[in-house]
Structure 1
Amino acid sequence: MTDSTILLDLAATISNAALTITRHNLQQSKPAPSFLPESSRTSGITTNGVSLAGKKDNSESQNAAISLIQAATDLQILVSGPENYLKSLSYSYHDITAIAVVIEFDLASKVPLSSSISFSELSAISGCPIGRLQRVLRLLFVRRIFQESQPGYVGHTSISELLAIDQDLTAFLGHCTHEAFPAASRLVDSIRQYPDTEEPSQAGFNIAFNTTDPLFTFLSKHPDRFDRFNRGMAGLSKSGGRSDQQVVDGFPWDSLGKALVVDVGGGNGHVSLSLAEAYPQLSFVVQDLEAAISSVKYESRSTLQDRVHFEIQDMFQTQTRRGVDVFYLRHILHDWPDDYAVKILKNLVPALRPESRIIISDSVIPPPEHLHGLHEKFVRYLDMQMMVLHNARERTEEDFAQLLARADPRLKLRKVWRRGPDTAASTIIEVVFEE
């Protein structure tokens, strides 16, 4: 039977959630969410929107934000109707294409933060032909990304302004538009051409870029792409469920005592540096390939150099260290199909001693419908991202247990640490080595 009041029920959910968020913002002296760029506001408060995974927002306001987003999405779908919804979904790749143009021609940084610029001037300084520039931006205006502040002129919104001031976030979007999006467009071809393989050289990415190199090998041969990818991953680590702070808070690191933690594939060491800052009893060795290690700079946290060291190590080769207290793998295993993930784990075993631990930061997917819709969608996006780029995937707790058993039966999954019932990306897996 059709629910005759469903639209009213969704509208009530939206109204109640908006009231909760507004009350919270007023209590915390936070401004209301706005499309106006920060540079045009006078409050001096720079927080915009509601954090979905931050310490400063209480759980009531976070839950209200999640409920509002889901109800608004459902309401839009129902009012649009199935046909219009599917048509809109089918055209949504043009939004990504438009963002790709913005990033390729660095349009966000060329639009003044406190004023506007004409289409013709923006075209001249960016090199993007004016006719195409106008058409691309007018699509984004509809999405509240940039605005036509006066006829023929482009100004920022709070969204486009972020692209101008947060270069790491922009780098992540650039990786999505310039590597992941072309890869996703060839997923069907990869399924047809390689229906039974999980080789990282036979993903949609490989067909899109006509290469047999796995993504990371390909990136290492293209310094500009590699730099953008590294900056983008650093940007993801600034906030939310995939942040450095989540790693610091998400596991009882102090329970390890005075331990040596080997950060496998740790790149520039930003996570190890954050952990070293928070837990003075821990010391760290960051391992990665030479290309990643050679570009490391300590910058402002140089006082940690005595407890954070770097060394070259290929994780697909047997670990050279012995008697290691803790191995840490952050967002490593989800980049690799099962056979490769097993090899990574197996290569650590000779370095383990009884009660050594392997700590894994990766998404742990719960059963369907155990997550709120917003979180569920995000996890499914991540899973698709791994498929099109690497032929890899996000995994359930049972999947991780099977990987460990295949690598060595002495590796036991002790606990999955979760920050909250609605999280999947914010999970840390604790593994112990039992003789």
Structure 2
Amino acid sequence: MNKETSTLRSLANIIIRAVDSMERAYVQAALPLPSLDKFYDPGEHAEALAQDPQVVAASKNLVAACAQISATVWNPRRVVINHAHAYQISSCLHAVSDFNVVEVLREAGENGASVNDIGEKIGVDSGLIERILRLLATHHIFREVSPGVFANNRISSTLDKGKPSCELFKNRETRFVGSSGIAAFAEHTADMGGKSAQYLAGSLRTPGLLPFNLGYDTKEPIFEWMERPESSYHVNRFAVAMPGTAAMEPEDLIFRGFDWSALACESVIVDVGGGIGHVSLTVAKKYPHIRVVNQDFASPIQISKAHWKECFPEHLDQRMVEFQVHDFFNPQPVKNAAVFLLRHIMHDWPDDKAVVILRNLREAAQQETHLVVIEKVVPFASTRTPDDSKMCPIRGAKPPVAEAPLLPNWGAAAADIYLYDLTMHALLGGIERTAQGFYELFAKAGWKLIEIHQSAGTQMSHIVGVPA
């Protein structure tokens, strides 16, 4: 038996063991495995079980092994050309969400709707919408019930904004308000991220300009561009999209790392660049003795006030939450913070700018202040790791590794972290960092990295620092 045949058999065995593990978990719970053809309902017991660490681990091995088998056995020329065409998937995903197709199909029921009915309701040529939906259905997003008749499935239904389609068509500006944020995040990524990414090669030949600058013909950074009055739709969509990133994570992720319960009564959390403050709100709901200062630009702060008033009015009434319009590139005004919390902030910026943000926090910090950065920590795709003795004493700095012959980072099962990385570069010049990258970044800004909490079932980590 040659090496490649042996590798193929090893991957197949990983798949068999993973299937056995998943089936065992669902049999023991007397639950069916969630069906691809059914509507996604995160409240169902079967979907809740899908977040169980044992099931997540099995799913991760399945996805990684299946993708590696496909890459091993499929025609490599077809593989590379299919990847070159992959932009069509994101553009079609954007189109069906933008025209509220998921909601139209939800109203049609399990038997779906014909492309003629869909086209008439959304005002789009039925032949084109059929081609768009068939491409997505071929990638298991939607299902073609019968020729030219489509229905939602477990994947497409995650884009449901939860409103009647007629209401969504009436007011485009507010169509995402009250939704899970998944559709907003998918549209933001496929729209602005996708358009910018097409200019990656061109930007490599144009020093000083990002793909976003070339794609949108502007020299302004994206956040300045979004402050324009004509960019209000993008701003509102982005504000809802940020909680959408949380919807893809375990509900208790914020409590799977830093110990918020250890904070004394009326300790202050500063949610730096907190958007609408959904993360600090989650902490405050569980530990209402904690004060919150939510900081961001004026537009998201206005949305934040309404969000807190709706979701946690008690904290407002007791004056335990404050809203500040603040640019984190300026000196930090809060001098009594117990915790500076930054979720999805560091990956927006290259190292030189990220250092400025963290140094401003360090200058405002007390000796007992903690820095909690919630980000992805990038693993290597190589079986060889750098020999870095300074990382050894840091708890959690060594990532878990997949079993051979899988790629040590689980390959396709972890591919989204690298997709995010290049999206951050395209839009902002940002970067997803390795553990070593965070260590060096903290050190440059006067912080000492002391621990990385890596939680099972998610790529997000709590990266904790203290004043150096």
TM range (shorter): 0.7 to 0.9
2:357 to 341, 344, 368: 344
The residue aligned with 1:172 is 185
Say yes or no: does 1:429 pair with 2:463: yes
The residue aligned with 2:92 is 98
The residue aligned with 1:413 is 449
Alignment-mate amino acid for residue 219 of structure 1: M
The residue aligned with 1:312 is 325
Say yes or no: does 1:228 pair with 2:237: yes
The residue aligned with 1:250 is 257
Pick closer, same or farther for the CA change 1:244–1:288 going to 2, 3 Å.
farther
Alignment-mate amino acid for residue 79 of structure 1: V
Matched-pair contact (CA < 8 Å) for 1:263–1:329: yes
- Displacement, 1:274? 0.6
Alignment-mate amino acid for residue 33 of structure 2: A
2:141 to 145, 150, 165: 145
Say yes or no: does 1:290 pair with 2:328: no
Alignment-mate amino acid for residue 430 of structure 2: A
Matched-pair contact (CA < 8 Å) for 1:272–1:308: no
The residue aligned with 2:395 is none
Q: Deviations over 1:101-120 (max 9, x none)?
A: 21222211112233422212
Matched-pair contact (CA < 8 Å) for 2:67–2:412: no
Matched-pair contact (CA < 8 Å) for 2:63–2:413: no
Alignment-mate amino acid for residue 170 of structure 1: A
Q: Deviations over 1:12-39 (max 9, x none)?
A: 3222211211121121233223222239
The residue aligned with 1:213 is 220
Matched-pair contact (CA < 8 Å) for 1:34–1:158: yes
Matched-pair contact (CA < 8 Å) for 1:34–1:48: no
2:410 to 372, 395, 400: 372
Q: Deviations over 1:297-340 (max 9, x none)?
A: 22132122232221221111111222333211111111011121
1:303 to 314, 323, 328: 314
Alignment-mate amino acid for residue 214 of structure 1: P
Relative contact order, CA 8 A, sep 6+: which one is greater?
Answer: 2
- Displacement, 1:157? 1.9
DSSP 3-state at the match of 1:323: coil
User: RMSD of aligned C-alpha atoms?
Assistant: 2.4
Q: Percent identity?
A: 29
The residue aligned with 2:398 is none
- Displacement, 1:161? 2.3
Q: Which runs of 4+ in 1 moved over 6 A?
A: none
Pick closer, same or farther for the CA change 1:342–1:318 going to 2, 3 Å.
same
What is the rounded CA distance, in whole Å, between the counterparts of 1:401 and 1:79 in structure 2?
A: 40
For structure 1, the residue ranges without an aligned partner over 5 or more in a row are none
- Displacement, 1:135? 1.4
Q: Deviations over 1:134-160 (max 9, x none)?
A: 211121221122223233322222222
1:279 to 287, 291, 301: 287
Matched-pair contact (CA < 8 Å) for 2:210–2:429: yes
DSSP 3-state at the match of 1:379: helix
Pick closer, same or farther for the CA change 1:37–1:349 going to 2, 3 Å.
same
- Displacement, 1:192? 1.0
What is the rounded CA distance, in whole Å, between the counterparts of 1:224 and 1:32 in structure 2?
A: 39
Matched-pair contact (CA < 8 Å) for 2:256–2:453: no
Pick closer, same or farther for the CA change 1:79–1:359 going to 2, 3 Å.
same
TM-score (normalizing by structure 2)? 0.82
Matched-pair contact (CA < 8 Å) for 1:113–1:161: no
Matched-pair contact (CA < 8 Å) for 1:50–1:62: no
The residue aligned with 2:122 is 126
What is the rounded CA distance, in whole Å, between the counterparts of 2:379 and 2:368 in structure 1?
A: 27
What is the rounded CA distance, in whole Å, between the counterparts of 1:19 and 1:244 in structure 2?
A: 27
- Displacement, 1:46? 6.3
Pick closer, same or farther for the CA change 1:304–1:160 going to 2, 3 Å.
same
Pick closer, same or farther for the CA change 1:323–1:160 going to 2, 3 Å.
closer
Pick closer, same or farther for the CA change 1:5–1:395 going to 2, 3 Å.
closer
What is the rounded CA distance, in whole Å, between the counterparts of 1:8 and 1:365 in structure 2?
A: 29
What is the rounded CA distance, in whole Å, between the counterparts of 1:9 and 1:350 in structure 2?
A: 53
Alignment-mate amino acid for residue 462 of structure 2: I
What is the rounded CA distance, in whole Å, between the counterparts of 1:148 and 1:138 in structure 2?
A: 7
Pick closer, same or farther for the CA change 1:321–1:64 going to 2, 3 Å.
closer
Alignment-mate amino acid for residue 460 of structure 2: S
What is the rounded CA distance, in whole Å, between the counterparts of 1:238 and 1:71 in structure 2?
A: 26
Pick closer, same or farther for the CA change 1:120–1:251 going to 2, 3 Å.
same
What is the rounded CA distance, in whole Å, between the counterparts of 2:213 and 2:30 in structure 1?
A: 50
Q: Deviations over 1:71-117 (max 9, x none)?
A: 11122222213222222222222111211221222211112233422
DSSP 3-state at the match of 2:271: strand
The residue aligned with 1:17 is 18
- Displacement, 1:367? 4.1
Q: Deviations over 1:208-227 (max 9, x none)?
A: 11112222222333111111
Worse-superposed segment, 223-232 or 254-263: 254-263
What is the rounded CA distance, in whole Å, between the counterparts of 2:184 and 2:46 in structure 1?
A: 22
What is the rounded CA distance, in whole Å, between the counterparts of 1:283 and 1:24 in structure 2?
A: 41
Alignment-mate amino acid for residue 313 of structure 1: H
For structure 2, the residue ranges without an aligned partner over 5 or more in a row are 163-178, 383-400, 402-408
Alignment-mate amino acid for residue 217 of structure 1: E
DSSP 3-state at the match of 1:281: coil
What is the rounded CA distance, in whole Å, between the counterparts of 1:395 and 1:158 in structure 2?
A: 32
What is the rounded CA distance, in whole Å, between the counterparts of 2:380 and 2:80 in structure 1?
A: 26
- Displacement, 1:383? 1.2
Say yes or no: does 1:73 pair with 2:51: no
- Displacement, 1:264? 0.8
- Displacement, 1:376? 4.0
Pick closer, same or farther for the CA change 1:101–1:225 going to 2, 3 Å.
same
- Displacement, 1:50? 6.6
- Displacement, 1:265? 0.8
Alignment-mate amino acid for residue 354 of structure 2: A
What is the rounded CA distance, in whole Å, between the counterparts of 1:318 and 1:117 in structure 2?
A: 56
Pick closer, same or farther for the CA change 1:404–1:17 going to 2, 3 Å.
closer
Matched-pair contact (CA < 8 Å) for 1:38–1:46: no
DSSP 3-state at the match of 2:35: coil
Aligned residues: 414
